[in-house]
Amino acid sequence: MIIALASDHAGYEMKMAIKEKLEKEGYEILDLGTDSTESVDYPIYGKAIGEAVAQGKAEKGIAVCGTGIGISIAANKVKGIRCALCTSVEMARLAKEHNNANILAMGGRTTSKELAFQMIDEWFNAEFLGGKHQRRISMLDEM
């Protein structure tokens, strides 16, 4: 499975820790940048991860900026993307079960590495429940 990763400067260190974790677990990583802690603009990276997932270059994505807010807003501008900004393991699970989120966003400045890893594991292991949730996803896709 290919996982896209993207961050701005504030999420760079978290992105690199996530990349190391996922590579050890056998995932192929599509690293869309940034490549340092030098200041950059998060919309560039949110758009890049959104397009990569929407175009099928990766099955899932993980986006990180300082709070996760900006990069998730940018990713959600791409048609077909359901990027969920999560701050707890429960939110990560529900993002998949109820919203079929295809990108998980988090804050590099607001989320511990341990919590980030727990959220990723929960999101990866959760399954979309369909049913009434599919009706709602279809409504989102029509917007």
The residues annotated with a catalytic role in the active site are 65, 98
Long-range contacts of residues 29-34, Cβ cutoff 8 Å, at least 24 apart: 29/2, 29/3, 29/4, 29/5, 30/2, 30/3, 30/4, 30/5, 30/57, 30/58, 31/5, 31/6, 32/4, 32/5, 32/6, 33/6, 33/7, 34/6, 34/7, 34/8, 34/9
